[in-house]
Amino acid sequence: MQWIETNIYTTTEGIEPLCGRLYAVGLNGVQIRDAADFNEFIENETQYWDYIDESLEPLKTCETCVTVYLTDDADGRELLSHIRGTVAELKTLDTEGKFGRLAIELTGVDEEDWINNWKKYYKTFTLGQRLLIKPEWEEMDEADRKDKVVLSINPGHLFGTGTHHSTQLCMIELEKYVAPGDRVLDLGCGSGILSILSLLLEAGSAVAVDIDPAAPVTAMENLAMNGISPDRYTVLVGSVTDDEDLRKKTGGDFDVVVANIVADVIIAISKTAYELTRKGGIFITSGIIGPRGDEVKAALTDAGFEIMDVHEQSDWLCMTARKN
């Protein structure tokens, strides 16, 4: 197994919130390099040492960095997209700049090549009763398409290939609950895979929202790839929890709201999701690691939702709730 070193640059104050988010998207361990921590160690723990090796001197002034290792395969590329999304969310919340530049860099590999090479791992697969997810570069016979809802996807650098457990759980729930003519809202849309799938499932219209300014370009490209009219689709950039004007632009009163993000963000947006869902409407949410399930359930219940189903796949949870 080959590993790719991924460095995220922050500050001493940013270590805890950043690491919390990394654990929330499924990482099991991190390495931390922090000048403040090193200097405290030097001051308090080395009073009886004769000298400090010169090779350690750069640690006295280094930029704080959290390092994780990703597998060099499709799962690693999908996880990198999760990391990008949650770091971008943290950067948006850090209005005072306390957490540093929050830049992501890959070491020992050309980042563009590494991200693009995931294509060799990404193959057509089926989900649910009639969903078929295919990369846009793969050809398919008409016979294979029969009685299937076929979603073609090219995610680019944004999260959303359909291979991650949380995404698949959401897609299966969308197949169950999206009805012809429904209005659908996709919070944290990334590549637009979930909202576009909703339109293929005969939703009347969909609105997608993401904090990443690259989202509209990627989502609209995927929309066109699937032959769907742009008149049925709107992509907005920003945070629905912080921007009242953005909430108004969505139109509200949605039949189905879907959010495949992380537990902390789901907890934060649960009341906003309730506000944007019509009475009797459905909220589908995933990106929840098993140990965070009770917290998310409590947040959804406190917001006013009735939890209908909880599904699990490889320790990832998907919750479906109704606004009564």
pLDDT in tens, 237-280: 998 988 999 999 999 999 999 999 888 889 999 999 999 999 99
> Strands 254-260, 277-289: parallel, antiparallel or unpaired by DSSP?
parallel
Domain boundary among the residues 118, 138, 173 is at: 118
Q: What span, in angstroms and rounded, lies between the C-alpha atoms of 177 and 255?
A: 9
**Domain edge (last residue) among 94, 118, 142:** 118
Torsion angle, alpha carbons of 207, 280, 275, 168, to 10: -50
Indicate whether 250 and 105 sit together in one domain. Answer: no
Does the pLDDT of residue 1 top 60, yes or no?
Answer: no
Give the Cα separation of 317 and 286 in Å (integer).
6
pTM: 0.70
Domain encompassing residue 219: 162-323
pLDDT value for 156: 54
Q: How far apart are CA 41 and CA 35, in angstroms?
A: 10
Express each pLDDT in 301-312 by its tens digit: 999 999 999 999
Task: Identify the pLDDT of residue 46.
Answer: 45
67 domain residue, yes or no: yes
| Residue 316 structure tokens | 């990832």
Phi, psi of 159 (to 5 degrees): -60, 135
Q: Is residue 127 part of a domain?
A: no
* 234 inside domain: yes
Encode pLDDT of 40-51 as tens digits.
544 554 444 444
Could you tell me the pLDDT band of residue 38, with boundaries at 50, 70 and 90?
A: very low
CB 167 within 8 A of CB 143: no
